[in-house]
């Protein structure tokens, strides 16, 4: 019965998006413009980030070739999320080799955003930050996108791992010890959590600033039951098209979105 309800919710959430995307031809003409990665950007994929307990997380790291040649240390702009970092246009893992699938389904306000082929969904664009003198680190949280560990959603475990990953990045020979965070939606929520990391009693020493865009603070009240009425539309779309496919494998894979976020909401309150 639960599987039938989930299937019904998935169709309920996808039907209007698919219908609009087809009738407007957005599904064939995604609302964005892709440009190649800057020639100075050194792209390193699936870099192992080793946490104190031995857990290996995977990150994509983008640095300046000139800074590398000059042995120049730079500050880092970082983000962390559950979305599969392999789904990059540059790696040919996106639909038809184009942008992430969200740009074929979700209408974009304000025209056509432009970003590089090494930019994942809602993350900072290396084409902007690397020429400005930064490195970019795009991290897959535990249990997602090939990262080891238990997959959880908006949990203390995630913020603890993010904290430790930030400190790992700050110790790298190409980093000057300063890390800032950037990103949209889930990538904003993770910033809130790590900046107030309960396991360590505060933010990582290397964290200098956060720049969260469009992040919520209470997933149950803001997403699951806004105004006290359950809304399964967006969450079902988000879970089944963005999060669940990225699971590396853990107990979370057997949970519904609502169950996982209810647990998160309880931990907040």
Model confidence pLDDT, tens digit, residues 130-159: 999 999 999 999 999 999 999 988 889 999
DSSP 144-186: BTT--S---SS-HHHHHHHHHHHHHHHTSTTEEEEEEEEEETH
68 — pLDDT class (breaks 50, 70, 90): very high
223 — pLDDT class (breaks 50, 70, 90): confident
CA dist 112 and 99 (Å) reads 12
Range of the domain at 106: 2-268
Asked if residues 170 and 206 have their Cβ atoms less than 8 Å apart, the reply is yes
Asked if residues 82 and 246 have their Cβ atoms less than 8 Å apart, the reply is yes
| Burial state string for 20-40 with b = 16 or more CB within 10 A and e = fewer than 16 | ebeeeebbeebbbebeebbee
CA dist 31 and 239 (Å) reads 22
For residues 41-57, give the mean pLDDT. 98
User: By mean pLDDT, which of 12-16, 17-21, 192-196 is the weakest?
Assistant: 12-16
**112 backbone dihedrals φ, ψ, rounded to 5°:** -110, 110
CA dist 210 and 269 (Å) reads 23
Which of left, alpha, beta for 249 (phi over 0: left; psi -120 to 50: alpha)? Answer: left
Edge to edge, the sheet with strand 56-64 lists 41-50, 56-64, 135-140, 74-81, 175-184, 207-213
Q: State residue 254's pLDDT score.
A: 43
- CATH code assigned at 219: 3.40.50
3-state secondary structure of 62: strand
Residue 119 CA: distances (Å) to CA of 36, 67, 135, 257: 10, 21, 13, 26
Q: State residue 91's pLDDT score.
A: 95
For residues 62-77, give the mean pLDDT. 98
Q: State residue 230's pLDDT score.
A: 81
User: By mean pLDDT, which of 105-119, 127-141, 227-241, 248-262 is the weakest?
Assistant: 248-262
Structural domains of the chain, count: 1
- CB contact set of 248 (below 8 Å; sequence gap of 6+): 143, 144, 145, 146, 147, 148, 151
126 — pLDDT class (breaks 50, 70, 90): very high
57 — pLDDT class (breaks 50, 70, 90): very high
pLDDT tens digits along 248-257: 855 444 455 5
Q: Which residue has the tokens 């000059």?
A: 70
How many C-beta atoms lie closer than 10 Å to residue 54's C-beta? 8
Q: State residue 263's pLDDT score.
A: 60
For residues 232-260, give the mean pLDDT. 71
Residue 232 in this model has a pLDDT that exceeds 80: no
269 — pLDDT class (breaks 50, 70, 90): very low
Q: What is the model's pTM?
A: 0.89
Q: State residue 264's pLDDT score.
A: 54
- Helices and strands of the chain, counted as H and E runs: 9, 8
Q: State residue 260's pLDDT score.
A: 58
């Amino acid at each position: 019965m639960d599987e039938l309800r989930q299937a019904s919710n998935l169709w309920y959430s996808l039907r209007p998006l698919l219908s609009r995307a087809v009738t407007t031809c957005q599904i064939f003409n995604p609302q964005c413009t892709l440009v190649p990665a800057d020639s100075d950007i050194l792209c390193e994929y699936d870099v192992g980030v080793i946490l104190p307990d031995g857990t290996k997380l995977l990150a994509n790291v983008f640095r300046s070739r000139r800074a590398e040649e000059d042995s120049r240390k730079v500050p880092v702009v970082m983000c962390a999320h559950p979305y599969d970092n392999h789904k990059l246009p540059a790696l040919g893992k996106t639909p038809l080799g184009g942008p992430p699938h969200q740009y074929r389904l979700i209408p974009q306000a304000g025209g056509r955003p432009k970003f590089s082929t090494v930019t994942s969904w809602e993350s900072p664009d290396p084409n902007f930050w690397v020429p400005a003198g930064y490195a970019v680190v795009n991290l897959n949280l535990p249990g997602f996108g090939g990262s080891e560990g238990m997959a959880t959603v908006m949990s203390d475990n995630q913020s603890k791992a993010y904290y430790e990953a930030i400190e790992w990045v700050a110790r790298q020979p190409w980093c000057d010890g300063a890390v800032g965070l950037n990103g949209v939606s889930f990538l904003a929520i993770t910033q809130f959590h790590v900046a107030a990391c309960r396991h360590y009693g505060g933010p990582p020493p290397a964290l200098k600033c956060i720049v969260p865009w469009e992040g919520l603070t209470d997933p149950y009240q803001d997403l699951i039951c806004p105004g006290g009425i359950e809304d399964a539309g967006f969450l079902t779309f988000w879970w089944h098209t963005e999060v669940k496919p990225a699971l590396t494998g853990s107990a979370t894979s057997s949970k519904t979105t609502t169950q996982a976020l209810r647990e998160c909401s309880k931990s907040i309150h």
